[in-house]
């Protein structure tokens, strides 16, 4: 029972933090948003730090690291609200490493590690909302492989990614497939989302697909849990900065002849934000530490974490805007961007109410961290 980071983990944090502070400031980010929400150059800089190989075994050209390292990197990227979907790289590399046949692994993992390929999860369907088990996409066996027909929404960097991991029903059971963006029958329609990042609607019309695994539902659940843990960590980074800029503002802004941080009502609001931040940080640790647990235990833990993170994100985001007064709702000042990022993260991989339902339905007689 130990929550210290190793020296290597601290070095990883430092390296990522330095890149964000020096190379991904608010100005650069704003430019990337204006240009469509995704910069291949910026993604390439993450490659340069070795990060795209984080969850990939050294034999496949990666760093062979685990959930805690992923958490550390995501926190740092969250602090800079980095637009490039690094969490998707963690999900894709986790899924390929854990569930794909050897041929697919050795074909794709080195390309993900080297940055040559950006692979993202394309799973969201209109009717499913957050219930990813509901799937209408279909894949039929064809030409020695599969032909996949689907419409997937809000795919991270969907019109920029090189390949998609797509859940689809094969003979009525959910399976996972890999489809390249340049394959026949694949069409994308890109846009910017509320947090400034890029997404796309992706349609597949009998597109040639490689089978990743027939054990689709377990694999997808696992992939989404990797994503949840990543999003939890990212949110902690965002909230940490959100609280910091709020504190700085309150200690500078004067009204009625005093700094507004001297007003007790506002001080108590800050105490409540600190509470939410630390509850969130605690549950982010919990989420990452439970990522390698057996499936039922993992699902339960990640649902608990995402519920807490959702509560925290909403409170911290809303209150940060409130405590800034008028400038909190401007586009020019950074805090509205933190708020929009937190709002979007809350709705990624299932929102607070959804995960409350998950916690509720998975509840056991016992209580606590070790239950």
Partner 1 sequence: MDLAFTPEEQTFRDEIRAWVHANLPADIAHKVHNALRLSRDDMQRWAKILGAKGWLGHGWPKEFGGPGWNAVQKHLFEEECALAGAPRVVPFGPVMVAPVIMAFGTPEQQQRFLPGIASGEVWWSQGYSEPGAGSDLASVKCKAERHGDQFIVNGQKTWTTLGQYGEWIFCLVRTSTEGKPQTGISFLLIDMKSPGVTVRPIKLLDGEAEVNEVWFDNVAVPAENLIGEENKGWTYAKHLLSHERTNIADVNRSKRELERLKRIAQAEGVYDDLRFRDEIARLEVDVVALEMLVLRVLSAEKSGKNSLDIAGLLKIKGSEIQQRYSELMMQAAGPFSLPFIEEAMEAGWQGNFPGGMVADAPLASSYFNLRKTTIYGGSNEVQRNIVAQFVLG
How far apart (Å, rounded) are the C-alpha atoms in residues 165 and 323?
42
Binding mask 179-218 for partner 1 (x = CB under 8 A): ----------------------------------------
Give, for 225, the enclosing helix (H) or strand (E): helix 216-250
The answer to whether 236 touches 284, Cβ cutoff 8 Å, is yes
Residue 80's region, left for phi above 0, alpha for psi from -120 to 50, else beta, is alpha
When binding is defined by CB under 8 A, the residue of 92, 118, 243, 321 that contacts partner 1 is: 243
Confirm or reject binding of residue 256 to partner 1 (CB under 8 A).
no
Give, for 296, the enclosing helix (H) or strand (E): helix 295-323
When binding is defined by CB under 8 A, the residue of 23, 267, 296, 297 that contacts partner 1 is: 267
The SS3 call for residue 65 is coil
Residue 144's Cα: distance from chain center in Å? Answer: 34
Confirm or reject binding of residue 271 to partner 1 (CB under 8 A).
yes
When binding is defined by CB under 8 A, the residue of 93, 308, 319, 336 that contacts partner 1 is: 308
Report the nearest approach of partner 1 to the CB of residue 370 (Å).
Answer: 8
Neighbours of 164 (CB within 10 A): 29
Burial class (CB in 10 A: 0-12, 13-18, 19+), 264: exposed
Beta strand 163-170 with 119-121 is parallel
Q: Which stretch binds partner 1 (CB under 8 A): 42-50, 170-178, 304-312, 329-337?
A: 304-312
The answer to whether 276 touches 309, Cβ cutoff 8 Å, is no
How far apart (Å, rounded) are the C-alpha atoms in residues 312 and 326?
22
Q: Which residues are within 8 A (CB) of 114 and not within 5 positions of it... i.e. 6 or more apart?
A: 47, 52, 53, 61
Confirm or reject binding of residue 255 to partner 1 (CB under 8 A).
no
When binding is defined by CB under 8 A, the residue of 14, 278, 296, 297 that contacts partner 1 is: 278
Binding mask 326-365 for partner 1 (x = CB under 8 A): ------------------------------xx-xx--x-x
Q: What are the CA-CA distances from residue 25 to residues 78, 235, 333 (Å)?
A: 12, 18, 13
Confirm or reject binding of residue 261 to partner 1 (CB under 8 A).
yes
The answer to whether 139 touches 69, Cβ cutoff 8 Å, is no
Neighbours of 106 (CB within 10 A): 13
Considering beta carbons, is residue 124 or 288 the nearer one to partner 1? 288
When binding is defined by CB under 8 A, the residue of 10, 21, 272, 296 that contacts partner 1 is: 272
Beta strand 254-255 with 258-259 is antiparallel
Report the nearest approach of partner 1 to the CB of residue 351 (Å).
Answer: 14
Considering beta carbons, is residue 142 or 363 the nearer one to partner 1? 363
Q: Which stretch binds partner 1 (CB under 8 A): 19-27, 48-56, 159-167, 271-279?
A: 271-279
Considering beta carbons, is residue 129 or 267 the nearer one to partner 1? 267
Confirm or reject binding of residue 368 to partner 1 (CB under 8 A).
yes
The answer to whether 73 touches 86, Cβ cutoff 8 Å, is yes
Q: Which stretch binds partner 1 (CB under 8 A): 81-89, 102-110, 182-190, 287-295?
A: 287-295
Considering beta carbons, is residue 217 or 247 the nearer one to partner 1? 247
Task: Count residues near partner 1 (CB under 8 A).
Answer: 44
Confirm or reject binding of residue 102 to partner 1 (CB under 8 A).
no
DSSP classification of residue 261: G
Confirm or reject binding of residue 264 to partner 1 (CB under 8 A).
yes
Confirm or reject binding of residue 82 to partner 1 (CB under 8 A).
no
Q: What are the CA-CA distances from residue 313 to residues 6, 273, 316, 332, 357 (Å)?
A: 28, 10, 5, 21, 18
Report the nearest approach of partner 1 to the CB of residue 250 (Å).
Answer: 7
When binding is defined by CB under 8 A, the residue of 286, 333, 343, 344 that contacts partner 1 is: 286
Tokens of 120: 């993202």
Report the nearest approach of partner 1 to the CB of residue 260 (Å).
Answer: 10
Query: What are the residues binding partner 1 (CB under 8 A)?
Result: 1-5, 9, 68, 243, 247, 250-251, 261, 264, 267-268, 270-272, 274-275, 278-279, 282-283, 285-286, 288-290, 304, 307-308, 356-357, 359-360, 363, 365-371
């Amino acid at each position: 029972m130990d929550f210290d980071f190793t020296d290597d983990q601290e070095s990883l944090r430092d390296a990522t933090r330095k890149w964000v502070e020096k190379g991904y400031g608010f100005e650069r980010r704003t430019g990337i948003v204006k240009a469509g929400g995704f910069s291949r150059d910026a993604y390439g800089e993450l490659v340069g730090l070795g990060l795209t190989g984080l969850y990939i075994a050294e034999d496949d050209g990666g760093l062979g690291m685990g959930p805690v390292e992923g958490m550390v990197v995501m926190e740092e990227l969250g602090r800079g609200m980095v637009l490039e979907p690094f969490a998707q790289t963690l999900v894709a590399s986790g899924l390929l490493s854990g569930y794909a046949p050897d041929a697919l692994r050795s074909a794709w993992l080195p390309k993900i590690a080297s940055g040559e390929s950006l692979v993202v999860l394309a799973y969201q369907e209109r009717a499913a909302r957050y219930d990813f088990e509901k799937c209408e996409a279909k894949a039929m066996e064809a030409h020695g492989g599969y032909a996949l027909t689907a419409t997937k929404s809000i795919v991270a960097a969907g019109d920029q990614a090189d390949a998609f991991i797509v859940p689809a029903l094969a003979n009525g059971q959910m399976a996972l497939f890999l489809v390249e963006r340049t394959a026949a029958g694949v069409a994308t329609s890109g846009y910017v989302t509320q947090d400034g990042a890029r997404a796309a609607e992706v349609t597949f019309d009998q597109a040639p697909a490689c089978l990743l695994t027939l054990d689709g539902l377990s694999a997808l659940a696992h992939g989404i849990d990797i994503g949840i843990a990543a999003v939890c960590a990212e949110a902690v980074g965002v909230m940490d900065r959100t609280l910091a800029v709020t504190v700085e503002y309150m200690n500078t802004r004067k009204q009625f002849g005093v700094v507004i941080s001297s007003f007790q009502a506002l001080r108590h609001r800050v105490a409540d934000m600190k509470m939410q931040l630390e509850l969130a940080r605690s549950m982010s640790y919990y989420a990452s530490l439970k990522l390698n647990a057996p499936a039922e235990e993992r699902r339960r833990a990640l649902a608990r974490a995402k519920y807490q993170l959702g509560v925290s994100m909403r409170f911290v985001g809303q209150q940060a805007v409130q405590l800034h007064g008028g400038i909190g709702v401007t586009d020019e000042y950074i805090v509205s961007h933190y708020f929009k990022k937190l709002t979007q993260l809350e709705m990624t991989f299932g929102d607070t109410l959804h995960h409350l339902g998950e916690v509720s339905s998975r509840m056991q007689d016992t209580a606590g961290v070790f239950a």
